[in-house]
Amino acid sequence: MAEISAALVKELRDKTGAGMMDCKKALAEAGGDMEAAVDWLRKKGLAAAAKKSGRVAAEGLVGVAADGTIGACVEVNAETDFVARNETFQGFVTKVTDIALKTGGDVEALKTQAFPGTGRTVAEELTHMVATIGENMNLRRSARLTVSDGVVASYMHSALAPGLGKIGVLVALESTGDKAKLAELGRQIAMHVAAARPEALDIADVDASALERERNVLAEQARASGKPEDIIQKMVEGRIRKYYEEVVLLEQVFVVDGETKIRKVVENAAKTVGAPVKLTAFVRYALGEGIEKETTDFAAEVASMAR
């Protein structure tokens, strides 16, 4: 029997998109012959994944899970919303979220983790599912939040199944106070995050380039009024404060009462929880955000085919 080297396995994997263990088995079955191994994978339906990898995957599911002081959030994309309702796909996202909860939030590291009961890694199991279900899929991103003492709360907006949906949120609260009351506060803030879509936790966390761009736009708008430069600068600073209220979580007005800033909500919670509370981090994943979706003009497509 021919020796199956790691380089040979990698070459077959690059060529077909199939999982590492499947490639190793294919090469063993083919006696080390590359083309025969490709044919073996194709017959098993395991090489189909490579052909599908170029298609846009912007649907799928976001998964969230929290356990005391730890929470995890992942996004797994597919091509159609139909797949999001597939029980096999849902089970995969749930298990991947649980693995992220246990092992960490780095998405590349997550892909290398063992997928329970299969002998495959997370990435290999995803490739296997692509071949089985017939759609391009992608483990796009993952995150994990932890606190030393406190609670990481989770919220899933319009959940399709427990912990699965299209908008998932994690909120990390540090406090030595009552954990049940802290968890309730965390859930309310997580619901706020889902609705208000903050981009940064605090003013210091706002992206410097985005802030500079906003400042330049506001300055040009103010100059159009013909006012003196010193007045323009005051106008810009006033509008920057308004910008912070739109994008910074701690500066936003709490959607639950419509009047209190989140910063004050957290500060006031000390009385209820029984100890000072600090909001240390949040994660908000909305399915498919930032992915450029393909738009098809069906009439133009038919006309083109007719020509």
Output the CA–CA distances (angstroms, integers) from residue 101 to 96, 97, 142, 175, in the order listed: 9, 6, 10, 21
241: which residues sit within 8 A by CB, 6+ positions away? none
In a domain, 229, yes or no: yes
Given this model, what pLDDT does residue 19 score?
A: 75
Are 99 and 190 in the same domain? yes
Task: Give the integer Cα–Cα distance in Å for 289 and 75.
Answer: 10
Residue 291 in any domain: the answer is no
Among the ranges given (52-61, 82-91, 120-129, 140-149), the one the predictor scored with the smallest mean pLDDT: 52-61
Least confident of 75-89, 139-153, 168-182, 188-202: 75-89
For residue 129, being part of any structural domain is answered with: yes
Number of domains in the chain: 3
Q: What percent of the chain has pLDDT over 70?
A: 90
Q: Report the distance separating Cα 216 and Cα 55, nearest Å.
A: 38
Q: Mean pLDDT, to the nearest integer, of 298-306?
A: 52
In one-letter notation, the amino acid at residue 126 is L
CATH number for the domain including 41?
1.10.8.10
Nearest to 196 by CA among 247, 158, 250: 247
In a domain, 293, yes or no: no
* Residues 36 and 135 both lie in one domain: no
28 within domain boundaries: yes
Task: Please check whether residues 165 and 155 belong to one and the same domain.
Answer: yes
Structure tokens at 39: 């044919």
Whole-angstrom Cα distance, residue 134 to residue 153?
35
The answer to whether 244 and 252 are in contact (CB under 8 A) is no
Residue 218's closest CA among 248, 197, 243?
Answer: 243
74: three-class secondary structure by DSSP = strand
If one compares 207 and 294, the residue with the highest pLDDT of the two is 207
65, 138: one domain:
yes
- 185 and 211 in a single domain? The answer is no
> Which CATH number goes with the domain that contains 225?
1.10.286
Residue 83 and residue 166 in one domain = yes
Asked if the model's pLDDT at residue 53 lies above 80, the reply is no
Average pLDDT (103-115) is: 95
pLDDT digits (tens, 9 = 90+) for 226-282: 888 888 888 888 888 888 999 999 999 999 899 999 999 999 999 999 999 999 999
Q: Each residue of 159-196: pLDDT tens digit?
A: 999 999 999 999 999 999 999 999 999 999 999 999 99
Q: Is residue 296 part of a domain?
A: no
Question: Has residue 12 been placed in a domain?
Answer: yes
Report if residue 300 sits inside a domain: no
User: Under a CB-based contact definition with an 8 Å cutoff, are residues 77 and 288 in contact?
Assistant: yes
Residues 65 and 24 in one domain: no
* 130 and 272 part of one domain: yes
Same domain, 144 and 236: no
Shared domain for 76 and 187, answered yes or no, is yes
Closest CA to 49 of 12, 80, 93, 18: 18
Mean pLDDT of the chain: 87
Q: What's the domain range around 40? A: 6-52
- Residue located via tokens 């797949």: 83
Residue 198: CATH number of its domain = 3.30.479.20
